[in-house]
Structure formats: structure tokens, C-alpha cells
Amino acid sequence: MDFDFTEAQQGFRQDVRAWLATNLPEDLRGRGFASSRGEPEKVVRLREWQRTLHKAGFVGMDWPAEYGGRGASLVEQVIFYEEMSRAQAPQPLNRSGLSMLGPTLMKHGTPAQRARHLDRILTAEEIWCQGFSEPNAGSDLANLQTRAVLDGDHYVINGQKVWTSMGHVADWGFFLVRTDPAAPKHKGLTFILVDMKSPGLTLRPLRQITGEAEFNETFLDNVRVPAANVVGKVNEGWAVALTTLAYERDVLTFIRHISLRTALHRLLEVARRTPRGGRPAAHDPVVRQKIAELLIGERCLQLHGYRSLTRILHGGAPGPEGSTSKLFWSQLDQDLAEVATHVIGPYSQIKAGHPLAPDEGQWEFYCLLARGSGIRAGTTEILRNILGERVLGLPKD
Ligand SMILES: Cc1cc2nc3c(=O)[nH]c(=O)nc-3n(C[C@H](O)[C@H](O)[C@H](O)COP(=O)(O)OP(=O)(O)OC[C@H]3O[C@@H](n4cnc5c(N)ncnc54)[C@H](O)[C@@H]3O)c2cc1C
């Protein structure tokens, strides 16, 4: 791809920058870095923020215009994300809806499902969560046991999901359930849309290492869901789920890159102002080398993201090679957290709310949250297996 920006693209950058300077609320500035997004009052604020972004045409930048998106070019998207990072603005709240379910419905959904849901995803009127993982089906997702049985024109769902991020504030969830227990485990699965307020559906929050309870256990006890909510064909949900997972690992990682870049810029600022041996830590040769490694890694991640998105924009779909971005991002995210802890020292452990907490305690949150980066959206070991077997063609054993 051509890395030079045209005059029109430079103009777009100026427009986005000016818009963010005027419209990014003061209390959200710098909050794109690291802070809880699961607390109900934060959700209200971030929902409003997504609405504001949407009104300005900045949500669903990559969605086709027929589905309410901007149909933007890759370059425009990149410019937008770069400017969001520069302004340290939080991302749109409805991440699962925008980057996972939306593209899945565009590929596998019925016209009625698209008409019902896509617009409300863009405006954050309805927040989505992902109900895939179960206590015995995480990495081995196809092992899931939640059962759905057809009863008239409804499915009756019984079972348990776990690690449902944002489930407690979500309006809807996209679930993977077993509809044919006699079939081999990758067959007999169905992808279905569930109203999170359905009778029989209960949530129990799980407190995480960061102290927040952003994910949940989800219990389904005779939950009745219209059969019209099945996405794709009954018993062929695995193929639909693979679309969702590919977008989660590829496009969503591109967006996660914003937070990483923001964190890296903040780390540079911290290193410049934190004294070490009578001079700023940024002048320490060991710290400099570590930060340089992170900057190089961040650039590689960015270029790899451009390559994947270029392929998608040219009509391709995210494939197994998208797992490289997720794998590399999670490693870089954890390295960054480690370097930050090294630079800031014991102060990096002080929580938000204490006057001695650097960057309002966001480093404490970031460093703890990074522990999960190698687990969510596919663990590091599983992604290595996928890359080894499906991209490099290595033998399974
Ligand atoms: C912050 C966070 C948010 C999440 N949000 C959601 C969500 O919204 N919705 C949702 O459905 N899920 C969510 N998850 C769940 C996530 O997808 C699973 O945690 C992940 O798939 C791993 O599954 P598991 O926890 O059951 O671990 P397990 O599958 O039990 O794995 C345990 C360990 O064994 C290793 N392992 C397992 N199998 C193999 C193998 N074949 N080869 C080599 N190593 C192996 C794993 O790499 C891991 O280290 C979230 C997780 C986190 C951390």
C-alpha cells in the first residue's frame, strides 16, 4: 500500500483532529488508556460517547453505507484510529457488536436480523455480549454443552456460559449452543441471538484481578428464544462462529492497538518525568533500549494490521493468519506492562483514588489487565497451534 497521504486525506485528518478537540468531553480525555468500562455509570457515559461519535459519522467506519456505516477507505480508518489515539479518547463502547456481531450478521444474517439489529449496534442503543465460553469449553470451544431444544417456533435453552464480558450491562448476546448432541462435536452447534432480559437468564458477576467485575457467569434455565433468532443454518453454527472469531482476532486487535499505542506514549511521558539515579529514567540506557523495542514492536503491529485490513477491504475475509496480530499484540501488551512496572517502580501498584497513584492509578489497572491479554480472544498456546498447523502447515503432533 501507499503510505503517503493525499491532500484530501490530510484534510480528513485535520477534520477529525478538530472534531475531537471540540467534542471529546474533558472527563473522558485520557480515559482511552486504562480504566474500567464495566461499571454501570461508566457505561452510561461511554454509551453517550458512542452516540456522539456516531452522529459525527465515526462509528462503523468500515461498515458498508447500506448498513449505516461510512464505507470508509482503509486509509481513512487508519487516520481516524490514529487521531483517537493522539487525543487519548476511549473507543466506542459496543465493541462486540461493532467488530464481531455486525460483520457476522452482514455475512450470515437474514435481512430481518440485519434490519432489526445493525442500526442499534451503531448507535449503542443496544449493547452486545458474547456467550461462547463455558466451564469446560474455552480453548476447546466445540466441546460446549449448553443445549437448545426446539419447542414450536422457539428454542428452549439450558446450560451455563462463563467469562461473559459486559453481560451485566448488555441488552443482547450472541450465543453458541448445542442443537444436535448426537452429531460430532463441531457439528450440531447453532449460533443464536438471545435477549439478555429473557426470563430464566441470570448473571453472576466475577471479580477480576483488576478489582472490577467486567465479566460474568451466565446461567440459562429454560430460556425461550425465537427460532427466527438463529443466525445461519441450524447445526452449522461452527462456521458462523469462525467468522465472529476471525473478526475478533483480526479487526478487534487492530482497534486494541489504539490502547496500546496510547499506553506507549504515556509510558514515554512517565519515563521522561520519573527520576532514576539523578536523571530522568528516559535517559537510562537500559530503559531506552526497552522502550525502543516496544516502539519497534508497536510499528510492526501497525503494519501487520494494515496488511490484514487491506486484504479485507479488497474483498477477502480475515483468515487464520489474523491470529498473528492477536498473538503479537498480547505479547507486546504484557511486555509494555512489565517495562512500565520497571520504570515506575512500586508506585505502579498504587490504585486509582490515592494521590500518589501515577496517571490516576491507570498503570496499576493496565498492568493487571494485561495478565488477561494472553487468554481472551484465544490463548497464546492455541493461537500458536493455529498458526503452526493452519498457516505454516506443521504436523498436528
Ligand atoms: C478478560 C477476558 C474476557 C473474556 N471475555 C469473554 C466473553 O465475553 N465471552 C466469552 O465467551 N469468553 C470470554 N473470555 C473467555 C476466553 O475466550 C477463554 O478464557 C479462553 O478461550 C480460554 O479458555 P479457558 O479459560 O476455558 O481456558 P482453558 O481452555 O481451560 O485453558 C487453560 C490453559 O491450557 C492451555 N491449553 C488448552 N488447550 C490447549 C491445547 N490444545 N494446546 C496447548 N495448550 C492448551 C491454554 O492455552 C491455557 O493456558 C474472556 C476471557 C478473558 C480473560
Share of the chain above pLDDT 90, in %: 69
Residues 266-306: tens digit of each pLDDT: 899 999 999 888 999 999 999 999 999 999 999 998 888 87
pLDDT at 31 > cutoff 70: no
Q: Compute the distance from residue 7 Cα to the ligand 1 centre, in Å.
A: 45
- Give which of 62, 86, 69 is closest to 305, Cα–Cα: 62
- Residue 154: what pLDDT? 98
Supply angle C-alpha 258, 333, 338, rounded to 5.
135
The region of weakest confidence among 188-202, 218-232, 354-368 is 354-368
Using most ligand atoms within 8 A of CB, pick from 210, 245, 252, 375 the residue to mutate for ligand 1. 375
pLDDT of residue 204: 97
Segments in 251-379 forming alpha helices (H): 251-273, 285-313, 323-344, 362-369
- Across 217-231, 245-259, 323-337, least confident range: 245-259
* Average confidence (pLDDT) over 178-201: 97
Closest by Cα among 214, 217, 207, 204 to 161 = 217
* Ligand 1 nearest atom to the CA of residue 134, by list position: 26
Atom of ligand 1 nearest to the CA of 132: 11
Grid coordinates representing 112?
430481518
pLDDT at 342: 94
Q: How far is CA 350 from CA 4, 202, 354, 358, 367, in A?
A: 43, 34, 7, 8, 11
Ligand 1 centroid, distance to 65 Cα (angstroms): 35
Ligand 1 pocket check: which of 145, 163, 249 to mutate, most ligand atoms within 8 Å of Cβ?
163
Torsion of CA 117, 119, 121, 124, to 10 degrees: -130
φ/ψ of 128, rounded to 5, equals -115, 150
Backbone torsion region of residue 278, taken as left when φ is above 0, otherwise alpha when ψ lies between -120 and 50, otherwise beta: left
Query: Among residues 332, 372, 367, which one has the least CA distance to residue 348?
Result: 367
Give pLDDT, residue 40: 82
Instruction: Pick the catalytic residue from 76, 248, 321, 360.
Output: 248
Ligand 1 pocket at CB < 6 A: 129-133, 138-139, 163-165, 215, 372, 375-376, 379, 381-382, 385
| Residue 248 falls in the annotated catalytic set | yes
- pLDDT averaged over every residue in the chain: 91
The residue type of 126 is E
- Name the residue with higher pLDDT: 43 or 126: 126
Closest-CA residue, ligand 1 atom 44, reads 381
pLDDT at 32 (0 to 100): 61
Q: Is the pLDDT of residue 33 over 70?
A: no
Closest CA relative to residue 177, chosen from 161, 153, 166, 163: 161
Distance CA 217, CA 77 (A): 35
* Whether pLDDT at 315 is above 80: no
Measured in Å, residue 370 CA sits from the centre of ligand 1 at 15
Sign (positive or negative) of CA dihedral 198, 207, 91, 47:
positive
Number of Cβ atoms within 10 Å of the Cβ of 36: 16
**Ligand 1: which of 93, 136, 139 to mutate, most ligand atoms within 8 Å of CB?**
139
For ligand 1, the distance from its centroid to the CA atom of residue 182, given in whole angstroms, is 25
pLDDT in tens, 112-122: 999 999 999 99
* Cell 509510558 sits on residue: 267
Q: Which atom of ligand 1 is nearest to the CA of 96?
A: 8
For residue 44, report the distance from its CA to the centre of ligand 1, in Å: 29
Nearest-atom number in ligand 1 for the CA of 140 is: 29
Atom 40 of ligand 1: nearest residue by CA position: 382
Q: How far is the CA of 339 from the centre of ligand 1 (A)?
A: 25
Ligand 1 closest atom vs CA 377 = 17
pLDDT of residue 1: 58
Q: What is the pLDDT of residue 3?
A: 65
